[in-house]
């Protein structure tokens, strides 16, 4: 019993209390950091849904359909040169869809009906999609969105728009989208995506 009392007298209780407090502080800090990162991940996930809803609401009713038609009519199997798409038996350059003047796709005056003129707004659709991708690229670059979720929903559109921009090196028109895409290209190759057009 006297040995226990001697040992207890030798122990520096304030030092042990300090070590125990430090241990609790470290554990509390670790838990706090873990919660912070989980909240950040949840915030990115929620922001991604807001961004996707904004994307859908910012487009006009037929913009995705226009994109699909252009993709389908740009396959070499429909008889077009690389970097072009077919529109009423004429071939047009894909980069012409990104010009800022007029409607984006110039249709010759011999076109017969109003439907043709109405569909000449193709370029407006592609520009609207590209402008939204530039906004999305900005959010992803600054860590405000979950890239994997965005890419799953919009990956096929992103891939084709980026490819079309590359035909005439028009990346400068949408700098945030281009930077984000280039930076993450290595990941995109292994990620799944929603399919809008088969064979694309």
Pair 47, 35 in one domain: no
Pair 35, 47 in one domain: no
Half-sphere exposure of 22 toward its Cβ, with a 13 Å CA cutoff? Answer: 6
Pair 14, 57 in one domain: no
- pTM for the model stands at 0.74
Pair 119, 181 in one domain: yes
Strand partners of residue 84: 93
Residue 62 located in a structural domain: yes
Pair 141, 175 in one domain: yes
Residue environment code for 112-132, b if the CB has 16+ CB neighbours within 10 A, otherwise e: eeeeeeebbbbbbbbbbbbeb
Residues 6+ away with beta carbon under 8 Å from 60? 124, 125, 128
Residue 198 located in a structural domain: no
Pair 62, 132 in one domain: yes
**Structural domain of residue 11, as residue ranges?**
2-39
The segments of the chain whose pLDDT lies below 50 read 102-104, 106-121
Residue 170 located in a structural domain: yes
Tens digits of residue pLDDT in 45-55: 999 999 999 99
Tens digits of residue pLDDT in 96-130: 888 765 444 544 444 444 444 444 445 588 999 99
Using alpha carbons, select from 34, 195, 58 the residue that is nearest to residue 127.
Answer: 58
Number of domains making up the chain = 2
Using alpha carbons, select from 170, 102, 93 the residue that is nearest to residue 130.
Answer: 170
Pair 95, 157 in one domain: yes
């Amino acid at each position: 019993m006297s040995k226990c009392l001697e040992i207890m007298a030798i122990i520096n209780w304030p030092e042990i209390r300090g070590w125990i407090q430090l241990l609790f502080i470290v554990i509390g800090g670790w838990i706090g950091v873990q919660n912070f990162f989980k909240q950040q991940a949840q915030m990115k996930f929620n922001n991604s849904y807001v961004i996707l809803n904004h994307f859908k609401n910012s487009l006009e009713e037929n913009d995705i359909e226009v994109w699909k038609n252009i993709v389908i009519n740009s396959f070499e199997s429909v008889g077009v040169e690389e970097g072009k798409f077919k529109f009423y038996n004429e071939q047009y350059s894909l980069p012409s869809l990104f010009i800022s003047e007029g409607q984006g796709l110039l249709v010759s005056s011999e076109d017969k009906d109003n439907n043709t003129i109405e569909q000449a707004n193709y370029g407006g659709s592609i520009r609207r999609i590209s402008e939204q991708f530039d906004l999305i690229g900005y959010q992803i670059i600054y860590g405000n969105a979950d890239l994997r979720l965005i890419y799953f929903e919009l990956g096929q559109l992103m891939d084709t728009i980026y490819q079309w921009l590359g035909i005439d090196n028009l990346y400068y028109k949408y700098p945030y989208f281009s930077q984000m895409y280039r930076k993450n290209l290595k990941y995109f190759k292994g990620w799944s995506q929603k399919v809008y057009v088969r064979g694309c």
